[in-house]
Amino acid sequence: MKNGQLITIKELVKDYPVGKGYFRALEDINLTIGEGEFAGLVGPSGSGKTTLLNIVGSLDVPTKGEVNVLGQSIGSLNARQSANLRNHSLGFIFQTYNLLPVYNVFENVELPLLLLKMEKDKRRELVDQALEWVGLQDKRKSRPAQLSGGECQRVSIARAMVKSPKIVLADEPTANLDAKNSHNILQTMEKLNQELKTTFIFATHDDKVIQYLHRKISLDDGRVVNDEQIIKE
């Protein structure tokens, strides 16, 4: 891992089998993403944003090329190593929140720490801190069904951030939210990015998200068509 570079992608190709042939979802992707970036994979549906995000998140593997995340080559990891990478270093935020409905807010946020086999007191401390970041201290006993969409996504952010991962991958995090909630969520994530130096990578086609990005990587038909740094005032 070169200094400050968390993710290095070289000549990435991803094919999916379709019938007797295959569908090429990503082609010749070359990228590097550094520590503390607030970057977005932007493009229309089917452009390969989520596929790229899944490969970086070690949920999928490349067909060709090299994807290196935190010094580990995604294509060569076995199931346990892959799970270990996600467990220790990656956080996920999903479009549909993916909260466990039978757990309350506290338990949902606590789950990644349980998987890390952390002590109870430490877990409590970290969960309280994460809930404070997203402003949900008073909802710790509520279940997801009792929360609004915005609150659910904030729980999802707290769950992703509770273990202080190096990288947070957010797939269309505002797709199910109204404008006000979207801005709240994005401001929260931007604040965490600045304070904790966590790298955020979004897959989005939502303009509300795009306006917060510091780097916009545009994809079309599985290729990177533009990669620009956005200078914020």
Partner 1 sequence: MLALKLAYRNLMGARLRTWLNVFVLSLAFVVLIWFKGVINGWDDQARRDTIAWQIGGGQYWQENYDPYDPFTIDESHGIISGKIQTAINAGKMTPILIGQATMYPEGRIQSISLRGVDPNQHIIDLPTQYLQSEDGEIPAIIGTRTAKNNKLSVGDFVTIRWRDVNGTFDANEVKITYIFKTDVPVMDLGIVWIPLEQHQEMTRMPNEATILTTSKEDGFIGDFPGWNFKDHYFLLSEIRNMIEMKSIGGSIYFIVLMSLAMLAIFDTQVLSIFRRQKEIGTHIALGMTQRQVVTLFTVEGAMHSVLAAILAAIYGVPLLWLQAVVGWSMPAGTDDFGLTIAETIYPSYSLALVFGTTAIVLITTTVVSYLPARRISKMEPTDAIRGKIQ
Q: List residues near partner 1 by CB under 8 A.
A: 50, 54, 57, 59-60, 79-80, 82-84, 86-88, 92, 94, 96, 98, 100-103, 107, 111-112, 114-117, 159
Q: Which residues contact 223 (CB under 8 A, 6 or more apart)?
A: 26, 27, 28, 29, 48
Tell the smallest beta-carbon distance from residue 50 to partner 1 (Å).
Answer: 8
Q: Which lies closer to partner 1 via its Cβ, residue 72 or residue 98?
A: 98
Q: Which lies closer to partner 1 via its Cβ, residue 38 or residue 106?
A: 106
Please give the distance of CA 20 from its chain centroid, rounded to a whole number. Answer: 33
**167-171/199-204 β-pairing:** parallel
- How many Å apart are CA 6 and CA 205, to the nearest integer? 24
Task: Identify which of 165, 170, 135, 157 has the alpha carbon closest to the alpha carbon of residue 38.
Answer: 170
- How many Å apart are CA 162 and CA 91, to the nearest integer? 9
CA-based radius of gyration for the chain: 17
Q: Which residues contact 83 (CB under 8 A, 6 or more apart)?
A: none
Tell the smallest beta-carbon distance from residue 225 to partner 1 (Å).
Answer: 23
Tell the smallest beta-carbon distance from residue 102 to partner 1 (Å).
Answer: 3
The 8-class DSSP code of residue 167 comes to E
Q: Which lies closer to partner 1 via its Cβ, residue 29 or residue 216?
A: 29
- How many Å apart are CA 168 and CA 50, to the nearest integer? 14
Q: Which lies closer to partner 1 via its Cβ, residue 147 or residue 216?
A: 147
Q: Which lies closer to partner 1 via its Cβ, residue 50 or residue 218?
A: 50
Tell the smallest beta-carbon distance from residue 114 to partner 1 (Å).
Answer: 6
Tell the smallest beta-carbon distance from residue 195 to partner 1 (Å).
Answer: 23
Strand partners, 219: 224
Tell the smallest beta-carbon distance from residue 6 to partner 1 (Å).
Answer: 18
Q: Which lies closer to partner 1 via its Cβ, residue 32 or residue 81?
A: 81
Q: Which lies closer to partner 1 via its Cβ, residue 13 or residue 111?
A: 111
- H runs (alpha helix) in the chain: 49-56, 79-89, 105-115, 120-134, 149-161, 179-196, 207-210
Provide the CB-side half-sphere exposure for 101 (13 A, CA).
2
Tell the smallest beta-carbon distance from residue 104 to partner 1 (Å).
Answer: 8
